Structure 1
């Protein structure tokens, strides 16, 4: 069989299309399929209905649509990028507008005060300039007074405290102390007024009395917290005035004792006129003990450390904590230092050889308590404080054993400590341990 020429194959399809009705050639295969009668050979006399959609005969594009079409054709990559950027900008402006709206709804400060505060913080964190920041803080305080903000409310008081914090951050510690002292004096004056008002009230309490009592508690707490902060500033490297630090912190502790109901019998509790928790009281007492210990007043330090244990344990609901390990270790080490002083005294009397030995045995018990407490602290509660306090207690223990003539026990402790001290690279304690080991004959 002869092969059919390729030209015939190509033209045969063309001839077939030419024989089709006009509507079939226009609409292609689907129109051809619809042109066949379904279920009947009778010719249909229904008028033919076009299947074109509205999109086929779309209206001519307007000027804007034509610009979009041209942009898509001429810049197929740049156009989508610009479109996404435009949508992002609109979204950003929407968020900014919402943020400004909500700021006006939720801000604790009037707009005039808030604007000055924002500038003050800008020159504190974004573009550090202590002088400019101080000017804006002072202006914020002035505006707060002008708009009638409560000068003893937490918002207005917070501006002044943040002002002092800014000065401290830039190294102007004396100026920060002046700001905090000014706040303390204002709080003390207000406290005197409130106390006078409460003293004039009748025995029957009212809602106003309850509010006044809460205000009084907030004032006392503010005074104490300010004094504690000022004490730490006096102790800082910028000032290094530990005498003033002790005096200021001592005033704070005295006020806590005054506001506590029968502390000698009941100890410190959360139910006090200062609104302080037992944890806060314990932290304050521990700081006081540290001050005494670092200024050569070991006897006072030991007493304050011992006072710290009761509120500290109360704050932990009786469970053992790393802070307790630290306080116990501090008691032992401070007692050990006191017993080494040339003019050491025990119970206020010059120490004899027997008294010194008894004192060292007492200090050993405190060191043993620190070690035992560290062992029972829950693993999830352990932190760096635990590890360092435990090392300190063990070093104190080894030193006390050596001083009491128990060289073999002392040598054993020093030998067990050296690897850990070297691993942690605590060079001063490594030297002490090596010297102790040598003295113990190791």
Structure 2
């Protein structure tokens, strides 16, 4: 009842509470009076450098495994491309410094640019001979404008490099010869005018070595299969050897001046003699080649594979030297006649005395020849020496030259046996030479051995 009566009380009879307004500064006073409470921060754990590296490594490995599971083939291809690109980018600076900058570091940059362009157009992919020659000439002109010494190794090297381009790239051996002849003549003019003024700075020695090397190269060019001017080849190689021996003897006699520089060694002198010997061989003058090969052996190191090659050359030269076709000394011919009988008798007595001397010399030569072994036998001895020397050389001194010397010397033993009519022995040496040549990949040796066996087909020992 009470609750129900209370509900019937009119709303308007309920007194309304007076609205209390807060003072104007209540909010400010309340905020200022509140104690300061800092909100706690959730701090992420600080990762150290090692931790970050390990975390990134784990994420990379996990990602790599995921990619491997999804597409292994594509991942391998992409990885290979990335590694290849990294290798190329790492190699490019090295290639540029080694092959583009270092070879021309002695030249001014203007000249070096022209030389790089000449080398670029001389390559097979961008081969343009006219451009090569133009840039070489521009390089020489710039070198002259910049005051470079025309007889320095750098400027002479450009001219010699042009000759090499004519020979190797254009196969124009005559043009290469003409270029080297010009360089040689200029060097001789410099030696005549200024050579005596450059004893102590080494320049005279450098130019003289350059002259000798040009003579050697001219001998090689004149004697090749495209020119075959053996007289010019012999002349140039003899001059090179004369320069080498003459300068060496002068230094031994007068001594080496201060700052004069070093001269060539015995190896270079032996190489000059060997090359002249090959020229004599090419012109079928083996009796002149053998002494030069012997001198080259004397100047060559005893434990060298090239010494075995020289011994084999001696064997070939001796075996192919023809015996003298007539008397060792030709008799003199006296055709003088006079009306004076006493003077005529004097001439006849001189002729008879000279004739006796020449006959005695011929008899001595014949007697000496009887006691000497035959030409094939002498060649066999030298070939066997070559094989023994090459077989006794061990690595690291031993190289492919020793193997080739053994194969060629064995083949020559077959030829010497064939010359003496020992067919069975010759066939054995040819087969052995073929096996040696095949083992070292010497195709020419295999072909020569097969030709030797074919020549012996159907023949028997004589």
TM-score, shorter chain, exceeding 0.5: yes
Q: Give the structure 2 partner of residue 230 of structure 1.
A: 218
- How far apart, CA to CA, are the structure 1 residues paired with 2:211 and 2:315? 32
SS of equivalent to 1:305: helix
- How far apart, CA to CA, are the structure 1 residues paired with 2:128 and 2:366? 57
CA contact (8 A) 2:122 2:132 kept: yes
1:152 aligns with 2:151: yes
Q: Give the structure 2 partner of residue 337 of structure 1.
A: 320
- How far apart, CA to CA, are the structure 2 residues paired with 1:275 and 1:177? 26
**Alignment CA distance shift 1:412-1:118 (3 Å):** closer
**Alignment CA distance shift 1:358-1:238 (3 Å):** closer
Structure with more contact order per residue of length (Cα contacts < 8 Å, sep ≥ 6): 2
Q: CA shift at 1:331, angstroms?
A: 0.3
**Alignment CA distance shift 1:355-1:395 (3 Å):** farther
1:176 aligns with 2:173: no
Of the structure 1 ranges 177-186 and 342-351, higher mean CA displacement relative to structure 2 is found in: 342-351
Q: What is the RMSD of the two structures over their aligned residues, measured on CA atoms?
A: 4.1
**Alignment CA distance shift 1:418-1:152 (3 Å):** closer
- How far apart, CA to CA, are the structure 1 residues paired with 2:252 and 2:389? 25
Per-residue deviation, residues 6-42 of structure 1 (Å, max 9, x unmatched) = xxxxxxxxxxxxxxxxxxxxxxxxxxxxxxxxxxxxx
Which structure 2 residues correspond to residues 374-389 of structure 1 after superposition, within 5 A? 374-389=390-405
Length-normalised TM-score, structure 1: 0.65
CA contact (8 A) 2:430 2:450 kept: no
CA contact (8 A) 2:431 2:449 kept: no
1:217 aligns with 2:205: yes
**Alignment CA distance shift 1:366-1:160 (3 Å):** same
**Alignment CA distance shift 1:146-1:263 (3 Å):** closer
Q: Give the structure 1 partner of residue 299 of structure 2.
A: 311
Q: CA shift at 1:143, angstroms?
A: 1.2
Q: CA shift at 1:175, angstroms?
A: 1.6
CA contact (8 A) 1:117 1:136 kept: yes
Which structure 2 residues correspond to residues 338-417 of structure 1 after superposition, within 5 A? 338-339=321-322, 343=325, 354=370, 357-404=373-420, 410=426, 412-414=428-430, 416-417=432-433
1:47 aligns with 2:37: yes
Q: CA shift at 1:355, angstroms?
A: 6.8
Q: How many residues align?
A: 337
Q: Which has the larger radius of gyration?
A: 2
2:107 aligned residue (93, 106, 109): 109
Length-normalised TM-score, structure 2: 0.62
Q: CA shift at 1:344, angstroms?
A: 9.1
SS of equivalent to 1:378: coil
SS of equivalent to 2:383: helix
Of the structure 1 ranges 248-257 and 119-128, higher mean CA displacement relative to structure 2 is found in: 119-128
Which structure 2 residues correspond to residues 228-307 of structure 1 after superposition, within 5 A? 228-261=216-249, 275-307=263-295
Q: Give the structure 2 partner of residue 64 of structure 1.
A: none
Q: Give the structure 2 partner of residue 132 of structure 1.
A: 131
**Alignment CA distance shift 1:139-1:222 (3 Å):** same
Q: Structure 2: where are the runs of 5+ without partners?
A: 1-33, 45-77, 254-259, 331-361
Q: Give the structure 2 partner of residue 70 of structure 1.
A: none
Q: CA shift at 1:217, angstroms?
A: 1.2
**Alignment CA distance shift 1:148-1:264 (3 Å):** closer
Q: Give the structure 2 partner of residue 123 of structure 1.
A: 121
- How far apart, CA to CA, are the structure 1 residues paired with 2:325 and 2:437? 32
Q: CA shift at 1:382, angstroms?
A: 2.9
Per-residue deviation, residues 359-410 of structure 1 (Å, max 9, x unmatched) = 4433332122112111211133333322222222223334334545666655
Q: Structure 1: where are the runs of 5+ without partners?
A: 1-43, 55-80, 199-208, 266-271
Q: CA shift at 1:107, angstroms?
A: 3.3
